[in-house]
Structure 1
Amino acid sequence: MRAADLDVQGVSWAPAKSALPVLHSTTFSVAAGRVLGVVGPNGAGKSTLLRLLYRFQKPHSGQVRVGGQDLWSMTARDSAKRIAAVLQEQVSAFGLTVREIVRLGRTPHVSGFATTGIGSEQVIDTVLEKLSLRSLADRDFGTLSGGERQRVMVARALAQEPQVLILDEPTNHLDVRHQLEVVSLIRSLGLTIVVSLHDLNTANGVCDDVLVLKDGHPQGYGRPETLLTDTLVSNTFCVNARREHLAPSGASHFSFTLPN
């Protein structure tokens, strides 16, 4: 798997032509191998933006380019070889094993009624090994913990051999240990990643760049250590935010209070 640049120019989306936009014109670029965090309060337009990136919805304006190629100039099969997504809603198990779930990721590479070949099985084995799932390969997906299920869904996405990986709230509903596992996993993949997050401290720690949205409008884009100022965070989330630097590591952490 090799990472590719992701270039998003002036994309917007509304539920109908006459409706108010859910996402207003948004522009950003993610260099190959970098991690972009999309942050903002509920209703900010984060999930809408991600849907445009993994080709679930077509932008009403603007363009999404992967590796220099317009996403909507490709066939759906070809786009699935470029971009994979892990969503908040996990698949129903239907009695499938972990290996069978991961094998679903090979679908874009299979033609007609063909089954996966030796090459695909090698990809699946590599992905299972990378995500420490080999020992769970024959387990029923429905018997796994939340953190294990999330790793399986990432493995299914990686089996597509994408260049760009989209993650929608990957730490949602996970306990602290499993949140840390997922965060560590994101940093280890080496792909171009766009991840939506609620937790600013997670975004601050895991992302190379951050895009901040509020009410469908971009509030800023840049490196988290410079973009996420107390003022920007306070205004975006309607709280009193304060960045604190932790000794001796020098790492920073946001604390929040309600306005008076």
Structure 2
Amino acid sequence: MSAADVIAENVSWTPQRGSAPLLKPTSFHVQAGQVLGVVGPNGAGKSTLLRMIYRYYRPLTGQIRIAGEDIWSVPPRMAAQRVAAVLQEQASSFGLTVREVVTLGRTPHRAGFSTSGARDADIVARTIKQLHLQDFADRDLATLSGGERQRVMVARALAQEPQVLVLDEPTNHLDIRHQLEVLALIRQLDLTIIVSLHDLNMAAQTCDAILLLENGHTKGFGPPDQVLTEAQVSSAFRVDARRERLSPSDTRHFSFHLPT
């Protein structure tokens, strides 16, 4: 499948009807093939929004459309063919090899209890090669480093052949090199990508658009240089944020200080 537009129209969510929404009505439009970065302080509603996009939470209001169709109007198997997710929490390996974990990504494309076919095997092999996992393919997932495991989780998601890839803090707990590798991979994928990130400098460099959330409210949506301003970042994160250029050829980076 090719990348698809993602449109959220006034989506909100609450864990219990009658209680205050954790995410207030939120709207945005991500064009096919773009990378949307969802940023904001802890408790802003980032993970709640992502869970609605990959169909874990049903919106209290509004709808999320992928390629023009409400994701909650299609059967779960079809939704899993359109949206794949890589989460912060990595499940136990259960003794599975890397190849077996990546093969799990083909599950939404199999009918009933049918087994993997030649096409599935070809897609798994191609995905393993794309993510440079050939040397680990027959190793137990539990024996890999955090960065290697993250690549395997991305490979499993890509094996679903989705139109949209959702990544919830994909650089969390990774060292600097593996963070950069994951972000470089994001830019290479021919998919619509929605990713939550804590590092605002990484978000500004990686994403085509930014959605800034604070306490469940949308504080800004648009190109990074328009949303991630000193004033907006300082207000949302309650810090003194400054954009600085380390040298004339450098892109400006944020530095952060506690308010005096």
TM-score, normalised relative to structure 1: 0.99
1:78 match: secondary structure = helix
Cα deviation for residue 26 of structure 1 reads: 0.2
Cα deviation for residue 134 of structure 1 reads: 1.3
2:101 counterpart of 1:101: yes
Gaps of 5+ in 2: none
Match of 1:71 in 2: 71
Cα deviation for residue 91 of structure 1 reads: 1.6
Match of 1:169 in 2: 169
Gaps of 5+ in 1: none
1:203 match: secondary structure = helix
Cα deviation for residue 247 of structure 1 reads: 2.7
Match of 1:218 in 2: 218
Cα deviation for residue 249 of structure 1 reads: 2.9
Deviations 1:76-111 (A, max 9, x none): 000000000000010210110000000000000011
2:256 match: secondary structure = strand
What is the CA–CA distance in structure 2 between the aligned matches of 1:127 and 1:249, rounded to whole Å?
A: 37
What is the CA–CA distance in structure 2 between the aligned matches of 1:18 and 1:78, rounded to whole Å?
A: 31
Match of 1:13 in 2: 13
Cα deviation for residue 17 of structure 1 reads: 1.1
Question: How many residues were matched structurally?
Answer: 260
Match of 2:117 in 1: 117
Q: How does 1:1-260 map to 2 (within 5 A)?
A: 1-260=1-260
User: What is the one-letter code of the residue matched to 1:35?
Assistant: V
Provide the identity percentage.
Answer: 61
Cα deviation for residue 248 of structure 1 reads: 3.8
What is the CA–CA distance in structure 2 between the aligned matches of 1:216 and 1:246, rounded to whole Å?
A: 34
What is the CA–CA distance in structure 2 between the aligned matches of 1:173 and 1:29, rounded to whole Å?
A: 30
TM-score, normalised relative to structure 2: 0.99
The alignment's C-alpha RMSD in Å is 0.8
What is the CA–CA distance in structure 2 between the aligned matches of 1:59 and 1:249, rounded to whole Å?
A: 45
1:241 match: secondary structure = strand
